[in-house]
């Protein structure tokens, strides 16, 4: 498959996967972000909640990466600068996402 049509498909597949995950985040996660420390830790440490969170984080990263690429293609002129910008932003975002995934894993284990 050509890279443009692969991009198109992956963007839509990640979008469809995110529909139920965003529903879960809106209903169950957002309210817990104002919970106290112990309650939030225990909740996110449960296997189902932690597992869904790790999956959500990586699908969100995937969807964001594809979307950012489109934004850069539309608004950043010059292929070299665009590639460097995307590499930088994707890299920082991925490090942060992986850190959060490791944090969830730690909460599930301890």
Partner 1 sequence: MLGVVCLCAWIISLALGEIWFGWFDAARSSLLGQVCSVAWVFAIFYHLLNGLRHLCWDIGWGFDLPQVYGSGYAAVIVAGVLTGVLFIFA
Site residues (vs partner 1, CB under 8 A)? 12, 15-16, 18-19, 22, 25-27, 29-31, 33-34, 37, 40-41, 44, 53, 57, 60-61, 64, 67-68, 93, 96-97, 99-100, 102-104, 106-107
Report, in Å, the least distance between residue 104 CB and partner 1: 6
Among left, alpha and beta (phi > 0; psi -120 to 50; other), residue 18 is alpha
User: Of 74 and 80, which has the nearer Cβ to partner 1?
Assistant: 74
User: Of 37 and 79, which has the nearer Cβ to partner 1?
Assistant: 37
Report, in Å, the least distance between residue 106 CB and partner 1: 5
Let me know if 45 is exposed, middle or buried by CB neighbors in 10 A (0-12, 13-18, 19+). middle
Q: What separation in angstroms does the CA of 108 have from each of 31, 41, 63? A: 20, 9, 25
Tokens of 97: 């996402």
User: Of 80 and 106, which has the nearer Cβ to partner 1?
Assistant: 106
């Amino acid at each position: 498959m050509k890279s443009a049509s692969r991009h198109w498909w992956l963007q839509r597949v990640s979008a469809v996967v995110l529909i139920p995950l965003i529903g879960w985040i809106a209903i169950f996660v957002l309210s817990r972000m104002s919970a106290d420390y112990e309650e939030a830790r225990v909740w996110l440490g449960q296997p189902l909640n932690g597992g869904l969170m790790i999956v959500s984080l990586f699908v969100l990263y995937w969807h964001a990466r594809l979307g950012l690429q489109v934004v850069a293609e539309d608004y950043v002129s010059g292929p070299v600068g665009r590639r460097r910008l995307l590499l930088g932003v994707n890299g920082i975002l991925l490090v942060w996402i992986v850190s959060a995934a490791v944090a969830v894993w730690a909460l599930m284990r301890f």
